[in-house]
Amino acid sequence: MPPIQDHPLRYQLANELHARPFPSLACPGQAVFLAIKQPREAAKRDRSLDRAHLIALLDRFGAQHPQPDATHYFGQIGKYFLKWEQHTEFVTYTAFTDQIGERPFHSAAWDVFPDDWLAQAPGMRITSAHIRIASEPDDESEVDAALAEWFVPESLAVSRVLDDTAIIAGDFRIDSAGHMRFAVFTPVETDDRRIGRIVQRICEIETYKTVSMLGLPRARDISRRMGEMDEELSALVTDMTGDLSKPDETLGQLLSIAAELEKLQTESAFRFGATGAYEALVNQRVSVLREERFHGRQTFGEFMMRRFDPAMRTIKATERRLLSMTERAIRAGDLLRTRVDVDRSAQNQALLESMDRRADLQLRLQRTVEGLSVVAISYYALNLVVYLLAPLSEAAGISRTTLSAAAVLPVIGGVWLMVRSIRRSMEK
């Protein structure tokens, strides 16, 4: 093939598909799993702290460091194999060993994570799990006996998975040591890679289930506040159907409620969105296990349907209710603004009509004044005309009285024409 320039991200994107391989686990064995979340949202999370914490653990065992920009690590530390993964909101540590121990779920398996190292974690534990991998006995009653001893029967979920290549069990309860317990029973013919995939799926189900449940407390807090605001909003909308004495004050209250709802929606958008994404991952991880019922017990899928799905529906209902209330508050504000605008338009129309009436009265008064002005000006103009024409009238033998009488109408007419001309020029 002739030389061609590669896209700078070609190899990075191709390698991303193989960045998180499944572990290969032998039976018998056990795995301890730990997920740590920093006490902040993903956008503000300092990923360098997670990497530094991992390196601190590797240095204790003299293990090799990962690449500077790596988001996953798999290597041997002491008698364990460690798998580290960095996710959007949390990091996970999974340690595998083929030493199963005499006592099931003994705390000695957790020695891989020293106490002082755990105390320095840049976050808090959101979940941890202890997974025991054992051979499936020929007599299934032995499995029942082990499950009755290790788990709480009321919440126990058991199923055959992946075409009867393993039996998985767990009660999703925190034991006295502070961990979830899961058991995996495999026939001798189940290969190590499949066991590793099953253990990985169990860890993912537990992690994504826990992280998705983080939205439930927030949904409950928002629901309580929405209940209070719903009463306020309903009262304001009811008042809008009558005569409002203070519409501006009511509009301010509506806008305040709408602003608070928008704030709640903004603050919860990431958490609720993440919850939906993690819920989809939980359901997908359960479905790929291809569960079959074991001795009439509930499967992992049924457990999620009964215990997990109601919490997810609560979160979704809260999210829908928050969106609906926000839209209601905005619509109520728009309606009130429309009503206020209509009322103000009516007031402005009445004001204009009043101004028209006052202008008409002023015009009438002005015309009356103009008439009086014509009379007054004509009086003074007539005197001036008489004074000017008096010498001529005496020579002509016309008396002063006759001259005044003869000049009245022409003077008044001239004054009227002059005032009229001035008014028209001003109106133009």
DSSP string, 369-390: HHHHHHHHHHHHHHHHHHHHHH
Please indicate, yes or no, whether residues 117 and 69 belong to a single structural domain of this protein.
yes
Domain contains 9: no
Please indicate, yes or no, whether residues 268 and 183 belong to a single structural domain of this protein.
no
Domain contains 249: yes
Which pLDDT score is estimated for 244? 62
Please indicate, yes or no, whether residues 85 and 170 belong to a single structural domain of this protein.
yes
Domain contains 14: no
Domain contains 236: yes
Final residue in a domain of this structure, among 351, 378, 412? 351
Please indicate, yes or no, whether residues 177 and 300 belong to a single structural domain of this protein.
no
Please indicate, yes or no, whether residues 243 and 196 belong to a single structural domain of this protein.
no
Contact, 268 vs 319, CB < 8 A? yes
Which pLDDT score is estimated for 367? 67
Alpha carbon distance 382, 411 (integer Å): 6
Please indicate, yes or no, whether residues 68 and 89 belong to a single structural domain of this protein.
yes
- Residue 132: closest CA among 33, 31, 26: 31
pLDDT in tens, 348-391: 888 888 888 887 787 777 767 666 676 777 777 767 777 777 77
Please indicate, yes or no, whether residues 54 and 154 belong to a single structural domain of this protein.
yes
Domain contains 3: no
Domain that holds residue 175: 20-202
Domain contains 207: no
**18 to each of 12, 21, 22, how far by Cα in Å?**
10, 6, 10
Which pLDDT score is estimated for 160? 96
Which pLDDT score is estimated for 29? 94
pLDDT in tens, 59-107: 999 999 998 888 889 999 999 999 999 998 999 999 999 988 778 999 9
Number of domains into which the chain is organized: 3
- Regions in the chain scoring below 50 on pLDDT: none
Which pLDDT score is estimated for 101? 77
Return the amino acid letter for 92: T
Domain contains 209: no
* Helix extents (H) in 41-112: 47-61
Alpha carbon distance 286, 34 (integer Å): 20
Question: Which residues lie below 8 Å from residue 213, measured CB to CB, with a gap of 6+?
Answer: 275, 308, 311
- Say which CATH number the domain at 336 has: 1.20.58
Final residue in a domain of this structure, among 351, 385, 411? 351
Please indicate, yes or no, whether residues 225 and 271 belong to a single structural domain of this protein.
yes
Question: Which residues lie below 8 Å from residue 336, measured CB to CB, with a gap of 6+?
Answer: 240, 244, 247, 250, 251, 254
Please indicate, yes or no, whether residues 194 and 87 belong to a single structural domain of this protein.
yes
Which pLDDT score is estimated for 10? 86
Domain contains 2: no
Which pLDDT score is estimated for 70? 85
DSSP 261: H
Please indicate, yes or no, whether residues 69 and 182 belong to a single structural domain of this protein.
yes
Final residue in a domain of this structure, among 326, 351, 376? 351
Please indicate, yes or no, whether residues 242 and 321 belong to a single structural domain of this protein.
yes
Please indicate, yes or no, whether residues 167 and 236 belong to a single structural domain of this protein.
no
